[in-house]
Each structure stands twice: as structure tokens, then as C-alpha cells.
A and B are shown apart, each in its own frame.
Chain A
Amino acid sequence: MRKINYKNFGIVLFTILFSLTACEKFLDLEPPFSQDADNYFTEPSHYELALIGAYDLLQGSFMNLWIGEIASDNSIAGGESVTDSQGLHEIEAMTHGSVNRELRSVFQWNYAGIARANFILENKNNIDFDGKSQIIAEATFLRAYYYFQLVKYFGDVPLVIDKRLGADEVTEIERSSKEDVYAQIESDLNFAASNLNAVNPVKGRVNKWAALALLGKVQLYQNKFAESAASLDQVINSMQYSLIADYRNLFVVGNEGHSEVVFDVQYSGLEGGGYGCLICLEGNAAPGFQGIRQYNGPIYGDGNSYNLPTQDLYDSFEAADNIRRDATVLNLDSFINQQPNATSITYAIGGGGHTGFYNNKYIKKQGEIGLPDNDLTSPVNNIVVRYADVLLMAAEAHNRSNNDAQALLYLNEVRARVNLAPISAGGQSLTEAIWSERRYELSGEGHRFFDLVRTGKAATEINGFQTGKHELFAIPQIEISLAGGNWNQNSGY
């Protein structure tokens, strides 16, 4: 009896065990309703969808609006306290070092954009379909844009092209020289310019002229004046763009996509968000952050008092230039005093600094407010390349490649729009005039610091700027460590 039981039992157990161990497939689960990163790009829509992902990182551009201004003589960091976005306060004071959250964001976000563009480009030969060359050209443009940000901020940076890096490869990659990075950017932009259509009917997607304008800028940053002039002239001669009549309407939501926009970053007010992940926002963080602190009054909305223009900027405008001055810098108390109910209008002063001025280009306004928390969800697009900038860059490129006549033509076109008398200088004094004009025309748009560095004026204009050090920001120390610790830090840090 007993023996039989043993046997029976053995058979039962063995059967169960065997069927289970044979069923190691039991553990082969597939993630429900999601796709693997490998084995993608099997149909045209995949390229389109991945391209949207690559565009997404453009939305970190509000950081350029902050750093490009705060690092310069144009504005102070502001905010709730000196420890609120401490990195920006350090940049304002030129005490920034290798530990700086905002600078690290710039480093991280642009590489994320590059990785997403590379994800498409490494798979560009998988299939063929109509419209592929546009998508590939747009991805190439985006990669160039992201590398340009990196090289402007950090100089030499690692160059990853057409592939995704594995975690183990990252410790072996070196910083490529600035020259190599620029060469790659130019090559990408040339490719993009020759493959992109002249007109892209979808608002927000780049066209041939955006690529050429960015190329002209990249060339100007390398002092390749003749090449820059040639690139920018193509944009100007395309007759696709013109200055709009009223300077004050440049940054109004209702007027977006106007004739002066060569390349802008698109934002929407239709998705909420949190402070924990600014790069996840679909809204533009700049207008809300740059809004008037606890403001209760007409026209504007309340915000976080970031990136406050300086008295120096306000005073620098010539008297006749009041259109641009007032459209660029909001003199808050003077504005309030002009309102009929001035005494009932209130606002607060942030602990991070107060100048009495607010950035009037990117500022939270009633009627342009996104979903709550609306400090984070402004629908205002960030115009990265504006036609006036193209004209001024072209003017500078011509002037510095000995074509003052053409330069004056472009410069005075910009001045005429705001009813300023033409300039008739030449040579170096024309160069100086163009550089000054850039400040009056483009302040508040994130160009100033990089212009000052590029033109060698930073040390004279920015308090605390040390030549030989502050032209570049420090590579975030942690990024050096995470990449194996082999990179040299930028000089002076």
C-alpha cells in the first residue's frame, strides 16, 4: 500500500514540476501595448513620430532666454530668493562653477535632443518612402541646432553622430574640438538646407531658410564673414520674410507665425505641468517665470519675477528709440502710474532682486494664459531666429567682409521700422553701430551674452567677467565624472 502511494505521489509531483520547468516560457512576457526601441522604423509613420520626439527638446529654449540675458549686462536673475534657481544667481554674479543645475540642464537637454535625432538618422536607410528626405533633413537640422547650443555654452563637446551610445561606451568618448563640432554643424546644416523644401506648410516645422539662417549664424560665430553673408543673403533674397510694421506686436500670441519668424520654438497652453520637470512642459516657462510677482492689475498676469532687465539696459536706448525700449523693458511703476486705477494695482518684490523693470517681450499677459499652473504653460512661442536678427547678422557679415554698403542697407532697414534715422558710418564704427543695434533690437531674446562673448566685449560690459574663463561655461562636474572622469574642465574653472 505504502509503496503505491509513494509512486503515485512521485508521478503527480514529477508531472507538475516537469510541466512547469518545461514552461519557462511562462516568464516570457511582452510589455502590453508598447513598442521596443529596437525593431522600430518599419513604416513611414515611425519616422514622423520619432521626429516629433526630436523636436520636443527645442522646448527647453526658455533656458536660453534666461541664461543669455542673465549672464549679460541686460538682466539680473530675480525670483523668490537668492537660493531660488541658485544657478541663475551665480551666473548673474559670474560666480558660476561646475555645479550648476541650470547649466547642467542645458547640457542634458541638448544631448537628449541629439540622441533623438540620431535615433532617426541611424535608421535612415531602413525603408524608403515619399517625404523621407524631408524628415531626415529636419532631423539633421535639429541635431545641428542642439550641437550649436552645446558649442556656444561649453566649447569642446563629445560628438556622437548617427548612433545611440551604450552605457559602457560613454566612458571612452572624448570631447571633440570646437572646430570639429562646428564642422559637423555646418555639414548638417548644409545638408538640411539643400534637402528641405522652401516652404513647409506645417507651422512649427523648419524649412530651407531656417537652415540657411542658422548656418549664417554659425558661420558668423566662427568669424567666417563672407560665408555667413552668402548664407544669410540667400534667406533675405528668398523674399519669404519681412519686418512687421509694429515692433510691439512681435511677441503676441495672436500674431504668431508673422512674416518675421524664420525659426521659432512652438509652445502650447493646453497641457498642465509641474515644476519638477520643466523640459516636460508643452508651455513656455519664460513668460510666467518672467511675470510680475503677485501682480494684481490690468494687462499682465502674475508671475515669478525672473530675469529682470537692468537699469543699464533701460538707459542704454537712445531717446528716439522709445518704441523698442518700451516694448523690450517694462518700467513697472511708470506703467502702473499711467493706469486709471493705479492705486488699486499691487505687486510684490521678490527676495531674489528687484530692478523695477520686467522683460516686456516674454511676459505673462492676460489673454495669453495657459492651463494652471499657468506660470508654466504660456503658449507664447520663442522666436529663435527672427528676420531682424538675420538682417543684422547679414549687416555684420557684410561689414566685416568689407561690404559696408550692403551692411548699411540691412542695418537701416531694421532702424527704419522703428522710425529711427539711418546710419551712415563705415568700417569699425559701423561694426560698433551694428553691435549696439543688436542690443536695442534683440534684448530680452537670449542673444546678448553670446554676442558679447563673440565680439570680445564681454569683459568690458559684464561685471565680474574674466577673460579666458567666462567665454565658456564650466562643463558640469558630474557630467565629467559620469563620463569616466577623463575630460579636462574648461579653463579657469
Chain B
Amino acid sequence: MMKNLILFASILFIGSNLFAQEGTVTGKIKGQDGLSIPGASVVEKGTTNGVATDIDGNYTIKVSNIKTAILQFSYLGYATQNIAVAGREKIDITLAEATTDIDEVVVVGYGTSTKKTLTGATSQVGGEDVEKLNVARVDQALQGQVSGVAINTNSGSPGGASSIRIRGLSTFGDNDPLILVDGVVYDSEGLNALNPSDIASVNVLKDASAGIYGVRAANGVIIIETKKGALNSAPRVEFSGYYGVQNTARRLDLLNATEYAVIKNEALGSSGKPLPFNNTALGEGTDWQDEIFQSAMIQNYNFSVLGGNKSSTYSAGVSYFTQDGIVGGDKSNFERYNARLNLGNQLNEKFKLNSVILYTNEERRALPENGIGSVLYNTINAFPNEPVRTADGRYSYLEEVTDIINPLAQIENSENLSSTNKIVGKEELIYKINDNFTFTNRVNYNYAAVDFKSFSPLVWYGPGKAQNTALNANLDPTQVEIADSVFIERGAGVFESRSTFVDVTAESYLNYERIFNEDHSVKGTFGVSVFKRYGEQLNGSAFNIPGNSVDFADISANLAPGGFLNNTGSFEYEERLLSTFFRGEYGYKGKYLASLIVRRDGSSKFGPNNRFGTFPTISAAWLISEEEFFKLKKITFAKLRASYGISGNDQIQNFAYRAQLDGEGVYVFNDVIVQGVAIGRASNPDLRWESTRQFNLGLDLVVGDNFNITTNYFIKNTKDLLFQPEVSAVLGTNGPGGQSPIVNAGDVSNKGIELELAYYSDRQKELKYSVSFNTTYLRNEVLKTPEGVEFIPGAAFGVGGGVATRFEEGYAIGYFHGFETDGVFQSQEEIENAAVKQEGAKPGDLRFVDQNGDGVISFNDDSDRKEIGSAIPDFTFGFNVSLEYKNFDFSMNVFSAVGQEIIRNYERQQPFANQLDYVIDRWVGTGTSNENPRVTDEANRNGEFSDYFVENGSFMRIKNMQIGYTLPENLTKKIKSNSIRFYVAVNNLLTVTKYRGFDPEIGSAGGPLAAGVDYGFYPQARTVMGGFNFKF
């Protein structure tokens, strides 16, 4: 018996000896601060055998061969260490905080990689950096953090969206990148739903490596991952919040009442009209900006917990955010409740289930903004000689200019509320088939229900105002004739809509990873993806709301006789995508890396002629520093990258390939409006996606241990631009509801250079600091417009004025087109003797430059107009500093854009509208001004769009400055907390610019061709805030 046992044991022993000397290693992982690190990962290198440290940082791992095994210790934010076991059974490790992050895991499409082995051009932003900026939306945090990504706030109002542009404008239409949060598709509007503190990492795919997303990747891809727990880690509870006060960072220098009266007297007097002001000593008058801008609060609170046991991980959080507007206060409020749960479950050895669920409730109130008729537009143009309210208590009418209304009355009568309930989620089942194969199946979904309501009370802004809804100052309702001589009253109205937006993505993909003969690493990804998006809306409007009061603002309360004026509407849409994709990666000795991506997409946006497209990308990298001949000791890492690929953009209206009877054919028979049919958009059965061909050459360097350099050069050419150019009238598409066919015509090129520098000081020292700098140079040019189309017109200048921006071959997208000025005519003599005849010119008028040299300024064609600016900056810069000394920390972020122009389009060109005070330095006689023309209400050409209205939009802005203090540990421990930090911060502290408007950082709310046109932009606020961060 005993013998047998010994034999058996020796067989076992011998047997195991034959293969390997198994063993167990234990130990503890600590940080440099001496605190243990729970949740750190310990992996036997070259295998998938791994464990995580427990709450006290302890680990126990079985290794296959205790003599030869190498253990890899890693934790996010710390430098990975590889330690040969060499027979030891206890290994304690102190991990150093990572200075260079080339081993950082990066989430790329359908898989992960490390910075070290990436072959594409990407930029990452860590969750901490996002959180620190205290912004409402994650995209705002990206500005100035990475090169090649331009973020422009489209409105400073709470809940306002940004435009996100990766490597420039490449199309006339939708330039938004594809945004994926935990694999779920978001649109840029939808980013409002995300709490920035929930974000673990942001990765921006800038070059053709985005091609793994095929027909939707042409504008780049942003991959956002939310925070997840780690296996075997103690719960980490975090409670943080801030409260801040916002104020406008800027006021315009407008005329006060006295200045205004003098200027207006001069304007009207010059054309022989009676002077409007007998007495110009009106003092300061009303400062409408004082009346309109207010201090407004902003606050945010987050509570989160994350951790895990041996088989499951969790991360959960709730947050609340609210922000009032600096214009309109709570009438311009944005509020968000957010709850999130991320779960990971190791069901058994083979299967893992990951679940993400995010619920958001958003409420947004908005005022009319960014346009003619917006609150700020009215504020700028309102007359300083008028009081806010007249002696009898009503709002003043500002009668002299029809389309300017009292902005305070406007705020009071604006009632818009949108309320969004949104659920985003993912269920992902990962089947680890064996060491090499992993099979992932997942369903991602996005469900949003948006309720919108606006109330339009009976209101009288003054005689002749287009915004009046009442018949007169008594607020009598207008009478509407609904049939021959049948009149009914039309009282206060309410509009309500309910929309549902749903998208579902189902994906299956197989990942393969294997190292052959130590030198050949092979990775492969192959999968399919099915995407479906649909939405619908039902809306209604009703009139005669009782009491003219918002308290009854609901369709159900309407008293419209017989409901005759009430109306309903609806729409529904659906689009689908069917895709297969493949990515193969090969690495030789960790020195030479190559990757091939092919994606085939079918999109319901296109007709049967062109439904499917194939998008290939190749990329390669050479890790020069791994070569033996590489002898530069200072440079510890050097990688040269190149990529080339084709990706697509399918962001156009659905069914654009076919003609439908969705035009407007409405006429009046027997005094009743009758609906007929008409062709809407003309068909184009050959419609296809835009394709972007992008070449990228990049270099990544690490100097010493702590200085990272990344640079990229790219050429991005977009072909077959999807747009609706004007077509010949003879086609008959210019009727109501008619549209040109959408065609593929036009090419755009973006070329640029990006540079990112980052330096981290020695983490061991008491004073720790890091400095990073990035810059992007970009040149945008339209290479081709559709045949016969000289240019595509963009935004208009003034009211009823000409086109100021264009899409035209040889110029940047949306460049400004108008007259060049050459000072001011000083005298009649000068006009008469001028070599160039300028019809109607009088002394004091702007002198235009004759571009075509024919001796005449032509006002009714383009021959004397030229390029006078562009909204696209030549360079953008980001500069970020952070310092830590003992318990204090400091950080600052600076963003700058240089070389762009802005059109000053917020001044109503009207005799009585108020103006900026530069008009004080106007021309009043020979030699008085060669810059600002005379003021007059005589017919003149000074209001023609010229460089007089174009200003330098370059600026530098300190976006965020923050000083924090962390309580000493001994104090913290007493209340069983790991860390307690308090801070004060200022967002938007200082802006250096020559621009005279509210905010030089104006987005492009009206699309790429309206960029740089300032209608009285809702500025970003300056916010002073204080916050705290408790960790348990």
C-alpha cells in the first residue's frame, strides 16, 4: 500500500517534473507611498494565467515553472514591472507611478492594444484629466488636451452642444466623428447625457486606423470607456462635488445714451432729416447688458463605488448636475440626473458577462440664441436711451427698429423646455475558447424619449414687431379667417412633441492572439455588426390657452373653438447598417509591426446600385529603439508609424437616392388651404458614400524616462462629397419643398502637422510636476465643386443681405467673400480724382478696392469681391501644467487658436440700432478717420459685406486653473477616509484676444459654412468654483 503510494507520488513527481516545476508565489504590491495597491494584476508572462491583488494588496499565484516563470505586475497608472521568479516563493513589489505610458492599454475598435504597439495615429485622455476640468460635457474636456481635435462650443448656454472636428472639416455636411461609449453609438448632442466623472478613458482614432468602423469613420472615431471595477478589490467609495458661480467673462463696449444720441443725431441729420434728440445730455442711460447678464450657479455632485470579488466586478455611480444661464438664469437652465452601473461577471472559466446600463434624465430650458432675433442680439442693438420699463410699468417698446424687441420682455415670454429620458446599455458575453481565441457577442442599445414643450403667450412687444402674437397692447388675440368671412380668435399657443430615438447594435467577433516561436506575434479580429436606428415623433400645437398663462400650457387645456386652429404632425425614420470587418496584425520581434483592416459595410442610406462599400486600411510601425544599432541612450523609445486607408461617411438624409412625393404642393381653393402632392428632392440612384483617403506619418519618442514626444503629418483627402449643390432651375426643383438631388461631387483636402510634448518630473521627489504642450497646424482646401457650380453659398451677412461665406474651389471651407476696403474717402475731391469709380460714394464712405482693375467697383457681381478671411485657425495650441507639492496641487490648462477670422454680424445695420463704441472714432470730416466710415442713414454702400466687418479671431484662453489641498493622512485616517481633497478653480479665467465680440471661441451652430459668423454668440461663462473629493 505504502509502496504504491510512493510509487504513485514519484510518478506524479516525475511526471510533473517532466513538464515543469510548478510552484506558488505570494507577495504584496505597494505603491511608492507605501500604501498597498488592491486590484493590481499579476500575470505569468506569455500565458493567460493571472490574478489580482486583494484588498490588502496581497496576491497568490500558481506558476507553471517556478524557476523560469516571469511575472508581470501591472496597475493602471503605474509602470508595469516584469520580474523573473527565479525560484522565489515570495516576491514583494513596489510599483512606481508611470511616467511614460507606452504600456498603457488602449481600447481600439473591437479589441485593445498598447500605446507601444499601436500602428495608427491616436490620442488619449485619461479619466482624471477629464474629471479635473469640471466641465459639463466630456467633449469640452478634450479641447486643448490632444492635437488634431478641434472642439468648438456652439453656445455657452447650459446644455449647449459643441462641434467636434478631427483633423479639420472634410465635408460640406456632417463633420461629427463617430462617438462610441462602451461600444454604444452616441451623437455629439447625446454627449450631454454622460457624466464626465464616469469616464475612465478617451481614445481618439485620428487616422485611417479608424477604418475598422468603415462607412462611418471618415470624420474619425472617439472611443470612450466608462469606469469599471477590478477583480478582488475592496470597495472604493468616492463622493465629490463642486459649486460655482458663473458670470459673463466679457461685455461689449456699446454706446451709452449720450453717445448714442449724438451719433444718431449725426446719422439722421446728415440726410437732412429732423434730429431725433433735441437734448443729447442723456447720461449713461440703460446698460442693457447689465440688465441681461446675471450671476448664475453651477453645481455638480457625484457618488460612486467600484470594486470586485474574485469573479465579478462592479462600478456604480449616481450624479446630479445643474447649471443656470448667465443670460436668463433659470430660463436657460440645464439639469441632469445620472445613474450608471457597470458589471463584469466571470460566469465560469470560459464565459464572462459584461453589462453596462446608464440612465440619464436631462431637462433643458433654452432661450432664442445665436441668430437674428436672439436675446443677445436684441441686447446689443437695444437703445440705451430707453428705460427697461416705462413709467407705467410696461416693458419699453424700442419702437424705432421693427425687428429689435426688448430682450427682458423676450426672456419673460420665452418658455421652452425639453426633457430627455435616456437609457444606454450593453450586454456582452465573452467566450474564451482557448488561450488564443476569444469570441465576443454583444448587444448595445440606446433609447431616448425626448419631450419638448414650448409656450407662446399672447404678447405685444411694440408696434410693428414681427414677434407680436397679440393684436395690440391690450393683448387682444388676432382674428383668423378660417373660411369665407368666418373669424375665430387665436390666443396663446402651445407646441408639444414627443420623440423616441432608438438604436441597437448587435456584434459578434472573434479575436485571435498568439506568439509563434517567440518572435512572431499575430493578432486577428474578424466579426460582423448589425446596426439599426429608428425614431419617431408625434407633435401637436394648440391655441387659446386659458389665462394666457404658462400654468395652463398644455394641449389638453386649449380652448380653441372647435379645435380649428390646432394641428398635429409626425415623422418616422429608420436606417440600417450591415457590416463585416477584419483586422490582422503582425509583429516581428516587437520591432516591426503591421496591420491590415478591411471593413465591408452595407448602408440603407444608399440605393441598390451602391449599397455596399469596402474600406481597407494598412498601417505599419517600426520600433527603432528596439534595434541593436540604435545607440542613442537618451532616447529610450522611438517608433516610426505610417498608415494609409479609406473610410466613408454616410451621414445624409435617408432615401436620398430616390424621389418621393414629399414636396409641398399646397394651394387655396374655395378659400380653404388644400394639400396636394409635389416631388420633394429629386432622385439620384447612383448616390454613394463620401470616401476619405488618409495618409499619416508619425513618430513617437520617449526621451529619458519622462519626456514623451509624438508628432504626425497627415494628408486627408475626401472625395465624392455628398451635398446638394444648386441645380439648374430647368429641373424644376425650386418649388416649395423641392430640393436638389444629393450628389457626390466635390473634393476637400486637409493637410496638417500635429505635435504633442509631455514632460513628467520625477515622481519620487517632493515637488512633482508635469507639463504638456500640443499644437496642430491645419490647412483646409476645397479641391473641387460640382460641375457648373462655381461655389456653394453659405451664411448671409446682415438682414436680407448677400452671401458672406462660400464653399469654393481653391479656398478653405466656408471662407469669407466680400470687398476689401482701403480706408475712407476723405473728400469729394478724392472721390472725383480716384482712379476707380465707386458709384454713390460720398466723403466719409468706405473706399473699396477694385480687384479686377476695370476702374469701377461693381456691386452687382463678384468681380471686385475676394477672400477676406476664414473661420479655420491656422494653428491651435494646448498647454497644460500641473504641480504637486506636499499636500498642495495646482493645475492650469490653456488653449489658443491663431489665424482665424470672425464676421461681426451682430450689429443691426439700422439707423436707430445701438452700436459698438468704435463708432465714436468715425469719420466726421477730412482727416478724422481713415478706418471707420461716417454715420448716416443716407443710402450708402458702407453696409456691403467687406473686411470692415471681419475681425481677427485669434485668442488665447486660460480654460481652467485649479488649486487643491489634500488633508494630511493622519487626519484623514481618523474619519476612515483614504483621501480628502478640497479645491478652488476658475474656468475661463482669462481670454486674450483682439476680437470685439462676446467670445472669440464661436462654434458653428449653423453648420460648416456658418462657422465664424457671430450673431451675438452666447458666451462661455467665467466660473469660480469650489469643490471637494472624498475617497473611502
B331 to chain A, nearest CB (A): 22
Contact of B572 with A371 in the complex, beta carbons under 8 Å = no
Query: In the docked arrangement, what's the CA distance between A257 and B785, Å?
Result: 49
A69 within 8 A of B: no
5 further interface pairs, Cβ-Cβ under 8 Å (given A81-B909, A348-B400): A35-B660, A53-B663, A84-B799, A205-B669, A481-B790
Q: Which residues of B contact A (CB under 8 A)?
A: 273, 399-400, 402, 433-434, 437, 439, 463-464, 466-469, 478-482, 485, 490, 508, 510, 526, 528, 530, 572-576, 578, 580, 602-604, 611, 654-655, 658-679, 682-684, 726-738, 741, 743, 787-790, 798-802, 860-862, 909-911, 937, 939-941, 943-944
Nearest CB of A to B384, in Å: 20
Residues from chain B with Cβ under 8 Å of A51 in the complex: 676
**A27–B480 CB distance below 8 A:** no
The distance in angstroms between the C-alpha atoms of A268 and B463, with both chains bound, is 23
CB-nearest residue of chain B to A38: B659
Contact call B736/A279, Cβ cutoff below 8 A: yes
A267: B residues at CB distance < 8 A: 668
Contacts A167-B684, A351-B939, A353-B939 known; A112 to B735 CB distance under 8 Å?
Answer: yes
Shortest C-beta distance, B329 to chain A (Å), equals: 27
Residues of A within 8 Å of B671, CB to CB, are 203, 256, 266, 268
Known: A29-B575, A99-B860, A165-B730. A280 touches B664 (CB 8 A): yes
For the complex, what is the distance from the CA of A46 to the CA of B679, rounded to whole Å?
Answer: 13
Instruction: State whether A13 touches B510 (Cβ < 8 A).
Output: yes
Nearest A-chain residue to B945, judged by Cβ: A83
Contacting residues of chain A (7-61) with chain B, CB-CB under 8 angstroms? 9, 12-13, 16-17, 20-21, 23-24, 26-29, 31-38, 40, 46, 48-59
A100 (CB) vs chain B CBs: closest residue: B860
CB atoms of B730 and A170 under 8 A apart = yes
**B-chain residues with CB within 8 Å of residue A5 when the two chains form the complex:** 433-434, 437
B732 contacts which of A56, A111, A302 (Cβ < 8 Å)? A111
Residues of A within 8 A of B (CB): 2, 5-6, 9, 12-13, 16-17, 20-21, 23-24, 26-29, 31-38, 40, 46, 48-59, 79-86, 90, 95-100, 104, 107-109, 111-116, 118-119, 158, 160, 164-165, 167, 170-171, 173, 202-205, 253-254, 256, 266-271, 275, 277, 279-280, 282, 293-296, 302, 346, 348-349, 351-353, 369-375, 379, 476-479, 481-485
Identity of the chain A residue whose Cβ is nearest the Cβ of B733 in the assembled complex? A112
Asked if B729 and A86 sit within 8 Å, CB to CB, the answer is: no
Instruction: A28 to B660: give the CA distance in the assembly, Å.
Output: 16
- Distance in Å: Cβ of B478 to nearest Cβ of chain A: 7
Q: How far is the CA of A10 from the CA of B508 in the complex (A)?
A: 13
Main secondary structure of the interface of B (DSSP, over half): loop
Task: Decide yes or no: A483 and B480 within 8 Å by CB, A34-B660, A37-B660 being known contacts.
Answer: no
Could you list some 26 contacts between A and B, CB below 8 A? A9-B439, A27-B602, A35-B677, A51-B676, A52-B675, A53-B665, A83-B801, A83-B802, A84-B800, A85-B800, A86-B800, A86-B802, A97-B861, A115-B735, A116-B678, A203-B669, A256-B671, A266-B668, A266-B669, A279-B736, A282-B666, A282-B668, A294-B464, A295-B463, A479-B728, A482-B789
**Across the interface, do A27 and B788 meet the contact criterion of CB distance under 8 Å?**
no
Determine the chain A residues whose CB is within 8 A of the CB of B667 once the complex forms.
Answer: 52-53, 55-56, 58-59, 204, 266, 282
Docked complex Cα distance between A98 and B861 (Å): 8
Measured between alpha carbons, how far is A104 from B734 in the docked complex, in Å?
Answer: 10
Residues on B with beta carbons closer than 8 Å to the beta carbon of A254: 485
Closest to B798 in A: A83
- Contact, CB under 8 Å: A478 / B578: no
Instruction: For A116, give its contact among B662, B735, B944 (CB under 8 Å).
Output: B735
A475 shortest CB reach to chain B, Å? 10
Whether the pair A20, B530 counts as a contact (CB closer than 8 A) is yes
In the complex the two chains form, is A20's CB within 8 Å of B578's CB? yes
Cβ B490 vs Cβ A371 within 8 A:
yes
**CB-defined contacts of A203 to chain B, threshold 8 Å:** 669-671
Instruction: Give A171 to B463 CA distance when docked, in angstroms.
Output: 50
Q: How far is the CB of A14 from chain B (nearest CB, A)?
A: 11
B730 touches A111 (CB 8 A): yes
Name the CB-closest residue of B to A82: B939
| Contact (Cβ within 8 A) B463 A302 | yes
List chain A residues, Cβ under 8 A from B910: 80-81, 351
Contact of A56 among B604, B666, B731 (CB under 8 A): B666
Give the chain B neighbours of A50 by CB distance below 8 A: 665, 676-678
B862 touches A99 (CB 8 A): yes
Find the B residue at minimum CB distance from A20: B528
CB distance from B614 to the nearest CB of A (A): 14
In contact, B678 and A53 (Cβ under 8 angstroms): yes
| Min CB gap B435→A, angstroms | 9
**A56 adjacent to B510 (CB under 8 Å):** no
The interface centre, meaning the residue of A97, A346, A351 with most chain B CB atoms within 10 A of its CB, is A351
The answer to whether A202 and B670 touch across the interface, beta carbons within 8 angstroms, is yes
Closest CB-CB distance, A88 to chain B, in whole Å?
10
Closest CB in chain A relative to B1007 CB, distance in Å: 14
Q: B727: which A residues are within 8 A, CB to CB?
A: 167, 170, 482
Docked Cα-Cα span, A29 to B658, in Å, equals 12
Contact A271 B530 (CB under 8 A): no
Q: Contact at A56–B676, with CB atoms within 8 Å? A: yes
In the complex, what residues of A have CB within 8 A of residue B662's CB? 34
Within 8 Å CB of A32, what residues of B?
Answer: 572-574
Known: A49-B677, A83-B801, A112-B729. A31 touches B654 (CB 8 A): yes
Q: A49 near B665 (CB under 8 angstroms)?
A: yes
Q: Given contacts A56-B665, A116-B735, A282-B666, is CB(A29)–CB(B726) below 8 Å?
A: no
Q: Is the CB of B481 within 8 A of A115?
A: no
Nearest CB of A to B406, in Å = 16
Instruction: For the complex, give the distance between the alpha carbons of A437 and B382 in Å.
Output: 49
Decide: A9 and B437 in contact? CB cutoff 8 A: yes
Q: Which residues of A contact B733 (CB under 8 A)?
A: 112, 115
* A158 and B530 contact, CB distance less than 8 A: no
B670 touches A269 (CB 8 A): no
Tell me if A2 and B735 are in contact (CB < 8 A): no
Residue of A nearest to B273 (CB): A349
Residue with the greatest number of chain A CB neighbours at <10 A, chosen from B433, B463, B677: B677
- How far does the alpha carbon of A374 sit from the alpha carbon of B465 in the complex, in Å? 10
CB pair A52–B730 under 8 Å, yes or no, is no
List of A residues within 8 angstroms of B800 by Cβ: 79-80, 83-86, 275
Which residues of A lie under 8 Å from residue B602 when comparing CB positions? Answer: 24, 26-27
Separation in Å of the A105 CB from the closest CB of chain B? 8
Given A98-B861, A302-B463, CB of A483 within 8 Å of CB of B661: no
Report the Cα distance A479→B735, complex, angstroms: 16
Of the candidates A23, A56, A164, A173, the one whose C-beta lies within 8 Å of that of B735 is: A56
Instruction: Name the residue of chain A whose CB is nearest to the CB of B734.
Output: A108
| Set of chain B residues within 8 Å of A80, measured between Cβ atoms | 799-800, 910
Contact between B799 and A171 (Cβ–Cβ < 8 Å)? Answer: no
Measured in the bound complex, the distance between the Cα atoms of B666 and A280 in whole Å is 9
Q: Which residues of A contact B664 (CB under 8 A)?
A: 56, 280
Residue of B nearest to A367 (CB): B479
Docked Cα-Cα span, A173 to B727, in Å, equals 14
Question: Nearest-CB distance from B438 to chain A (Å)?
Answer: 10
Report the minimal beta-carbon distance from A417 to chain B, rounded to whole angstroms.
26
Q: List the A side residues contacting B400 at CB < 8 Å.
A: 294, 348
Report the 7 A-B pairs with minimum CB-CB distance, sorted nearest first.
A115-B732, A52-B676, A53-B665, A112-B735, A108-B734, A53-B678, A266-B668
Are A371 and B478 within 8 A (Cβ)? yes
Q: Specify the chain A residue showing the minimal Cβ separation from B660.
A: A34
From A52, which residue of chain B is reached at the shortest CB distance? B676
In the complex, A372 Cα to B735 Cα: how many Å? 23
Q: Are B726 and A295 in contact, with the CB atoms below 8 A? A: no
Q: Which residues of B contact A346 (CB under 8 A)?
A: 463
Given contacts A24-B578, A80-B910, contact A270 B669 (CB under 8 A): no
Chain A residues with CB below 8 A from B479, complex form: 369
Max chain B C-beta neighbours (<10 A), residue from A108, A158, A203, A254 = A108
Contact status of A96 and B578, CB under 8 A, knowing A16-B528, A31-B660, A52-B667: no
Contact A34 B911 (CB under 8 A): no
Residues in A neighbouring B655, C-beta threshold 8 A:
29, 31
